[in-house]
Chains A and B, each alone.
Chain A
Amino acid sequence: MSQIDNPVHNIKSALDQMFDLVTMQLTKSKDALAGFDKDLAREVIQIEKRVNGQELQIDRVAENFIALYSPVAIDLRFVLAALKINNNLERIGDIAEGISKYINETNSPLDATLMEESNVMPMYEAALRMLKEVHEAYEKEDTSIARKIFKSDDYLDHINAEAITNLTHAANGDASKLSDALYIISIIRKLERIGDQLKNIAEEIIFYIEAKVLKHVKPK
């Protein structure tokens, strides 16, 4: 192992822990929503502090690595990608926290019919699956797994695009359901943003491993 491998390894494992923390946050926030579990929601809000601390730690280690080792080529691409992945993961954590805050603010479980018709839970499952896949792509340095994320993100976009129509139909003119419908739409919008963050992470993994820039490239 050469001298430069140590800091690279340290950043890699710190980012690995960040993936684990955010996965835990997202899983718990999903379960909190599904079971209207306020305790779990509060736990997600607590984990956010650890996520923020981990983000700062990775930023610091990466900055030191750049300053002390002047990385080039694959090491440079790795540290640039790591900084962006770190930031994207932290935002996913923020979103999980935001959803948990809704659960805390709401007095009763969200309307079951609206939940069902909006497809919010399958969307949550899909986002969580994507997060696990992108983590696997990062761990195995496998760009073929990273590329699958783009397709999965289309599914989240589709549910988001249909959300208003589905919820209007499910509410069926019942004004008492308006508040819940708005909450659900807001959650769906947040999950759609998680899809975007995961897509960004997948792009960074491909940049790091293959030196290809996919950002702002429209699929053919």
Chain B
Amino acid sequence: MSHKLTTQDVHVWYGSFHALKGVTLSVKPNTVTAFIGPSGCGKSTFLRLFNRMNDYIEGFHMGGEIIIDGRNIYGKRILVEELRKEVGMVFQKPNPFPKSIYDNVVYGLQIQGINDKHVLEEACETSLKQAALWNEVKDNLKKSALALSGGQQQRLCIARTLAVKPTMILMDEPASALDPISTAKIEELILELKSQYTIVIVTHNMQQAARISDRTAFFYLGELIEYDKTVNIFTNPKEEKTQSYITGRFG
């Protein structure tokens, strides 16, 4: 199986701070990959490289290559807006727009110039169903998104991401602000979405990484310490640092 994502000797600097030090890994399509590590280890920086979210940070510069679907996404001919349609992102804190549920979901399509009501309605329904939110909001699509619970808002943000039909979804601690029931729903959703999307998730929740991911990457001080099948990482990690971190002995 060819890889959806490959990174080759990736370095990142913020000014003189060397945030990522030569990270090389590959991600297969239709898998969930978890990035774990203590705060400041570079896992979110690494995740945000995949849809060029770091480009706006002052002093950011990088080295190495990131290949998604065979294209170097930092190549000269890459249109960042096009890339972000392919690679969607869900953030730690639900961030719906102060608009209706419907408007939130179709927002990405509308700014692409799609205004056909039938197309938008269909996309709204499909995305909300995929995000396991349809049954809870189908009778209130005009209601403000801000009136939804935190867990519903996060699923709405996932629906908004899905509406533009990405092939890859990046999630930066998507359940860390949610209660256990909402977290369980997000995790179930991630497992369902895996059949259609490639998902990369940053999480501080070890059990979450263990439950939902196929492979886990452990980062420490900007280095990729270990990358392996999740079951191996959590039963018999090869590196002492990984073992110390996942067993709660440092970090």
B-contacting residues of A (Cβ < 8 Å)? 2-5, 70-77, 211
Contacts and interface: CB of A to CB of B under 8 A. Distances in A.
B216 to A, nearest CB: 11
A3 B235 contact: no
B76 interface: no
Contact of B248 (A2, A76, A77, A211): A2
Nearest to A69: B248
Interface residues of B, number: 14
Interface of B: 206-207, 210, 234-237, 242-243, 246-250
Contacts of A3: 248
Contacts, number: 35
B232 to A, nearest CB: 10
Nearest to B207: A70
Contacts of B246: 72-73
A73 B237 contact: yes
A77 B232 CA distance: 12
Contacts of A2: 247-250
A50 B234 CA distance: 36
Contacts of B248: 2-4
A148 B207 CA distance: 37
Contacts of A70: 206-207
A74 B247 contact: yes
A70 B207 CA distance: 8
B236 A73 contact: yes
Contacts of B249: 2, 4-5
A103 to B, nearest CB: 45
Given A71-B247, A73-B247, A75-B247, 6 more contacts: A3-B248, A5-B249, A73-B236, A73-B243, A73-B246, A77-B236
Given A2-B248, A4-B249, A74 B243 contact: yes
B206 to A, nearest CB: 7
A-B pairs, 10 with minimum CB distance: A211-B236, A72-B234, A2-B249, A4-B248, A73-B243, A75-B247, A72-B246, A73-B247, A73-B237, A2-B248
Contact of B235 (A4, A5, A77): A77
A157 to B, nearest CB: 31
